[in-house]
Structure formats: structure tokens, C-alpha cells
Structure 1
Amino acid sequence: MSQITDPAPGTVFPRLGWADDLLAPALREAVAALPAAESRVAGYHRGWCEADGTPVASAPRRGKAVRPALTLLSAVAVGGSPEQALPGAVAVELVHDFTLLHDDVIDGDALRRHRPAAWSVFGTPAAVLAGDALLVAALRALTDVPAARGAAAVRELVGTLLDLVEGQSRDVAFEEAAQVTVAQYLAMAEGKTGSLMGCACALGGVLAGADAERVGGLREFGRRLGVAFQCADDLLGIWGRTARSGKPVGADLAARKKSLPVAAALEGADPAAERLRELYGSGRPLDAEEVELARELVEKAGGRQAAEDEARRQMSAALRALSYARPTADAYRQLQEIAWAMIRRDS
């Protein structure tokens, strides 16, 4: 088994076009089968069409197809084929888009993937309904899988959906909480982000017919990777660039959200942590000048370093878990490359 190594910053994200080439036709078919109104909102959200439904010529790839690629590679890792895992890859991507549509509504984020978010274009009810429709489509994607594996895949996805709801509920509750500990935040992140990545990997194993031990290793790999990814995402939310990420950098600070770097900084005892507690206790959104001050205080209080360290701890745990799946050498290498690139990205 390959040794765990941390690549240098700036690592190039592995090319996942092969996964998108396999996924795209099935994904478009699933979205096209939705009611017309919801299909149009979902197509806009993915960058396939304009708000009026006009197809986008040479539509760019949206995102990096990471979760579906994890599903397909996980199947290969346990001796299966990507084609066996395709229904799971479609289901995972549809659920991911469902969560994004709803998250943007809940958070009030007006920018997604370098475009106005769907709710800001079509209205909140239309965005919520489109998300609901994608959730139904995700479950439907698994109904054509042969009996035993199909039933196991549906159970895996349903359990994940419950974890997602609990994680999102905790995240919303944190906005009103006077204090959020790092431990509480990590538990939330495991539900909100880790559960879906864990499901993505587990579905690959389930649909390839792997035994429970190997599926469990894949699931835990994905869950730890998901938490590491959330750590990296929180760092980008404060120190990233909107032009690269397509998401509003600084919005979490403006809303006084307790992301991981902030939660870690607020637990500090130095003057920077004390000043940050005062700022976050103001009870109102922060203005541009205060956002800059908060960014400086979080770093001075050690929040940035703490989040980076936690991302590395979660990654080490993920790669240890992956070994229990007894993956093929080539699949292990590819999964490791994707995992490191996910937490060392700059967008």
C-alpha cells in the first residue's frame, strides 16, 4: 500500500473528464425526466441552460465531478467496473445538487458556480421544489439496480439523507448559538458534508458487490475525506478568492457564522480571540471593514492554523480507513490523488 504523503501546495487537481463523460448522459437523462419547471431550474443550476431554458452553447463543466468519480473509483477499487456503479454516481450527484439548491436558500447566498444562484433567479419556491425533485430523481436512479444490491444502495442513501438533515439542522442552529466548540462543529461537518462523501464511496462498493468490511472502509474513507474537505472549504470561505471559487468569499464572516477557523479562534484566550468574541457578539451583520478585521483576528487567534491541522488529521484518518477496503493499487493511487487535491485546492 502506498505511503501517505502530503503533496506540495498548488497540486494540480486530477483530470476527471473520464468520470464526467460516463456520468453526463445519464445525469442529463435524469434531469430531463423531471417536470418541466423543475428540470429548467436544475438545468440552469448546472450551467446547461440560461434562465429562459435556452441551451448554453458548449456549456462548461461545472465543478470537478468529485463525488461521482469517488463512486466510480470505489467500485473499481474492489474489483468492479465503473458502469456497475453509474446509478450510484448519478444518485450522489443529484443529491449534491439538491443540497446546494437548498443551502443557497437557507444561507441567502446569491452566487453559485460563478452565476446568480437559482433562488435569486427563479424565486425561493421554485428553487426548493427543484431541489425536492432532484432528491426524488436520486432515489429513482437506484430503482433499476438488481434487487439485492439495489435495496442495499437505497438503504445507504436513505441513511445518508437522515445524516444530511441532522447536519444541516445543526449548522442552522449554530447561527443562534452563543458558542460552538470545535468538537460540535466537526460533528456537524461529518453529517452535512462527510455523510454524502461517505455514501458516494460506499455506493461504489455496494454496487460492485463488495463485502461489508470493504464497504465500511470505503464509507469511512469518504466520511473523513468529507470533513477534511469542509475544513478546506471553510478556509476558502475566509481566505479564498470569489473569482476562483465562484462563491462569495467573506460572506460567512459578514453573517458571523461559526465556521471551523472561527470556532477554533473563539476558543482562544489571547487578545485577538477576545476581540473576535466582542465582534461576533455584536448581534448584527458585519460591514466590509469589520469583515477584514475579523479575518485578521481569526488568523492571529490561531483559527487558520487549527483548520489546516484538522484537515490533515482527517486526511490521515481517511487514508488509513481506505486500507481496510483492500483497494487495488491503481485505484488507491487515484483515490489518494483526488483526496489530497480536494483539501489543497484554491477554488
Structure 2
Amino acid sequence: MTATAAESSAHPSGPLLDRARGLVDALLRTSVQEMPPRTRLVCGYQLGWWEADGSARSAGAGKALRPALVLAAAGAFTGDMAAAGPAAAAVELVHNFSLLHDDVLDRDETRRHRPTAWKAFGTADAILAGDAMLALAPQVLASHDHPMLAQAVRRLGICVAELCEGQHLDCAFEQRTEVGIADCLEMAAGKTGALLGLSCALGALAAGAPETTVRAMDEFGRRLGLAFQLVDDLLGIWGDPAVTGKPAGADLQVRKKSLPVVAALAGGTEPARRLRALYTLCRPLTTAEVTQAGDLVAQAGGRTWAQEQAEHCTAAALEILDHSLPPGGDSTELRALAALITRRKL
């Protein structure tokens, strides 16, 4: 779920986001162009380059937040972001692989204000395009010779395994009547935190940072990733459809056990009891019931808890960042991206 273009351009990190998008698109267009025609069509649609019929599209995909984190992490250590371009493109491929598969698993029909790839091309083509993107990621990463390349590829592989485990847990929650906060946090750590951690770690690797610093940057990204997921879950309940690209209360409509909902249910209050009753109904929720569920999550403390946790995770991430940079390191862009992640409008 993304902020509007106006919000992004007005934000201090706007120029970096634009640079990341331009750099990544240039690298990926060359690689995607070599794919078989059908796969190329689906991948380009997912990346926002064209419509389902192959006609040009003026609007792009997301904000390129993860590639921007790669570039910002590299720039924080050396001031030079150019060497991190292949890593930024690889991260964007892994991200879109996960989105393609997630949309199929969750049966989400819209993303970024238009039909998801599986709705536009069918389930099989969407899954195969995701597989192709995942296969392309290490190839793009290896397109630039770097002394830390082997370590970067190893980290990418570990991250993908974590992403898959996080998605497995997310799917498993749908079949469970009880999900604890610790379970939900573990899922978010894999599904969201791992990739933001990889982004920051790859940027540090591209800049030649020592292993201890790379690990610290990975942890910085993971903490930031948890804050991102908390805000994303808030947007999934109370976000403006014009901003999120999804219907109001989309997560409640499918009775997703997101972090604010799980926190609300854990309270044992009267609003929590009523929320549980709605979540266990054996039929689709009405529009009025979706609105009621959102009110109950807030009354049971889920909204406040998620907002406070997001702020706590961001503060913890920034503290790690402060202790990770060498003398003379510049954390300006990383801090701006952290603010963008946690201050998206509801």
C-alpha cells in the first residue's frame, strides 16, 4: 500500500525514490526484455511499464522503497550509490516475486489501483512470472563484479526462504481460530522484515562495510520492516482507498488476522468479544459489519497498540543506525525513508 505521488514528491526522500525507480527500471528493462514474450508481458505489467494488452502506461509501479533503502545504505557509508544499482534491482525483483505470489494466495483482485496480475492474466501465468523474477534476481545481482558478491547472493537466498516461511505462517493463520501477538510478529518478521533487512545489508555490502556493520544494517532494516508492517496493517483497516488502491476495510472484509486485530482480540474486553463474534461468522461480512469491526478494533485498543509499536520499532531501528555508521557517515536519506515508512497517512 503506497502513498500518493504528491506525498512522495513532497517528502525529503522524494528525489532518492525517483532516482531508485529510474535506476532500477533501466536495469530491469534490459533483463526482462530477454524473457519469453508471455512472461515478459506479465512481468512488465507487474512492474507498471504497460497494460495487459502491452500498450504503454504512463504511471509506474510502487515507490521503489526497497531499492531506495539499498542506495541509501550504500550512500551512508561511501556517499557513492552507483555500485549498489544491481543489488537495488535484485531486491525489487524479489519484492515483486513475493507480491505476485501473495496476490494469488490471498486472492487479492486489485493492487496499485488496477487488477492484480492473476486477475489480468490468470493464476498460472502470474505464478510463473513470479518464478521468473525470482530466478532473475541473482543474475542481476551478479551482473556487477564485486568482492562481496558471494555473500550478497547467500543473503538473498536466505531472505527468500524467510519470505516463504512468513507467507506460510500468514496462510496458516487463516485456518486457526487463535493467533497470538508473538505468532503475528514472527510472521511479520519473515514476510516484511526480512526483505527490508536484506535491502539495507546489500547496500552496506556494496559499500564495502565490514560484516559486523552489515549485520547491524540488516537488523536496522528488520526493525524498520516491522514498523512498516504495523503501519500497513493500520492502512488495511483505516486507509483511504484513493491512497491504498484497495477497498476500505479490505483486511477486515476477508477477516485477516493482522497485528491490530490480533492485539485487539488479546485484550479480553467486551469490544474484543464482539469483534471475535464477527470474525467467526460463517458468511461474508456486510459493509456495515466491516465498519463495525474497524470500530471494535479501535475500541479494544488494537489501533493504539499498533501505532505505539510502530513508533517503538522505528525508534529502535534509528538507535541501531546511529551505532552502525562510521565517523562521517551520513544517515540523512535512511532517516528520511524511515519517516516515509512510518508516517504514511491513514
TM-score range, shorter chain: over 0.9
Distance 2:76 2:279 in 1: 46
The answer to whether the 8 A contact 1:110-1:120 is kept is yes
Q: Aligned equivalents of 2:146 and 2:24: distance in 1?
A: 22
1:220 Cα deviation after fit: 0.7
1:265 maps to what in 2? 264
Alignment RMSD: 1.7
Q: 5 Å matches for 1:236-255?
A: 236-255=235-254
Does the CA-based 8 Å contact 2:78-2:207 persist in structure 1?
yes
- 1:3 corresponding residue in structure 2: none
Inter-CA distance 328–47: structure 2 relative to 1 (3 Å threshold)? farther
Length, aligned pairs only = 336
1:220 is matched with 219
Q: Deviations over 1:144-202 (max 9, x none)?
A: 33364111110010010111011000000011111111111111101000000000010
3-state secondary structure, aligned to 1:324: helix
- 1:328–1:84 distance in 2 versus 1, CA, 3 Å: farther
Aligned to 2:3: none
Aligned pairs for 1:11-50 within 5 A: 12-13=10-11, 14-15=13-14, 16-50=17-51
Q: How far apart are the structure 2 equivalents of 1:182 and 1:328?
A: 38
Amino acid in structure 2 at the alignment position of 1:20: R
Provide the C-alpha distance between the structure 1 equivalents of 2:280 and 2:326, rounded to a whole number of angstroms.
48
Contact 1:34 1:137 in 2 (8 A): no
Taking the aligned partners of 2:271 and 2:28, their CA distance within structure 1 comes to 48
- Structure 1 residues 193 and 117, CA, compared in 2 at 3 Å: closer, same or farther? same
| Cα displacement string for residues 187-246 of structure 1 (whole angstroms, at most 9, x for unaligned residues) | 110100000000001001112211011111211111010110000000000000111111
Secondary structure at 1:218's aligned position in 2?
helix
Cα distance in 2 for residues equivalent to 1:197 and 1:189: 11
| Partner SS, residue 331 of structure 1 | coil
Aligned to 1:53: 54
Aligned match of 2:278: 279
Task: From the superposition, tell whether residues 50 and 93 of structure 1 become closer, same or farther in structure 2 (CA, over 3 Å).
Answer: same
Q: Which residue of 2 aligns with 1:165?
A: 164
CA distance in 1 between counterparts of 2:326 and 2:41 reads 39
How much identity, in percent, do the aligned residues show? 48
2:154 matched to which residue of 1? 155
CA distance in 2, matches of 1:147, 1:90: 15
Normalising by structure 1, report the TM-score. 0.93
Q: TM-score, normalised by structure 2?
A: 0.93
Contact 1:73 1:331 in 2 (8 A): no
CA contact (8 A) 1:266 1:273 kept: yes
Q: Which amino acid aligns with 1:54?
A: S
Q: Separation in 1 of the partners of 2:174 and 2:95? A: 22
